[in-house]
């Protein structure tokens, strides 16, 4: 199964892009092995949701901390989403 995003490694960070025509079914609940800091670079009306919490809207400039092994997902907006990930 291919991943629903494209990654570009820049120094110690990853720039991840989700296309605006992605099928929302591809954006599954998942967990990461390591803590992550995520900065929103671009995107409109995308949302982020941690397990047992309501989704929050992602806005350019927002930074989110995702603890290791915490269930989470993104919910599709109406443009492409571009984020910067630090592990």
For every one of its 87 residues, what pLDDT tens digit does the chain have, with 9 covering 90 and above? 588 999 999 999 999 999 999 999 999 999 999 999 999 999 999 999 999 999 999 999 999 999 999 999 999 999 999 999 998
How many domains is the chain built from? 1
In a domain, 53, yes or no: yes
pTM: 0.92
In a domain, 51, yes or no: yes
In a domain, 54, yes or no: yes
In a domain, 1, yes or no: no
**Cα of 83 vs its chain's centroid, Å:** 7
Q: How do beta strands 63-66 and 81-86 pair?
A: unpaired
Kindly report the backbone phi and psi dihedral angles of residue 78, in degrees, each rounded to the nearest multiple of 5, phi listed first: -115, 15
In a domain, 26, yes or no: yes
Q: How do beta strands 72-75 and 47-50 pair?
A: antiparallel
Which CATH number do you get for residue 37? 2.60.120.10
Range(s) of the domain holding residue 82: 6-86
In a domain, 79, yes or no: yes
């Amino acid at each position: 199964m291919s991943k629903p995003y494209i990654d570009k490694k820049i120094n110690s960070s990853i720039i991840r892009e989700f296309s605006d025509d992605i099928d929302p079914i591809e954006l599954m609940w998942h967990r990461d092995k390591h803590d992550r800091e995520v900065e929103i670079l671009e995107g409109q009306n995308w949302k982020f949701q941690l397990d047992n919490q309501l989704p929050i809207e992602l806005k350019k400039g927002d930074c989110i901390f995702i603890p290791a092994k915490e269930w989470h997902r993104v919910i599709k907006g109406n443009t492409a989403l571009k984020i910067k990930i630090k592990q």
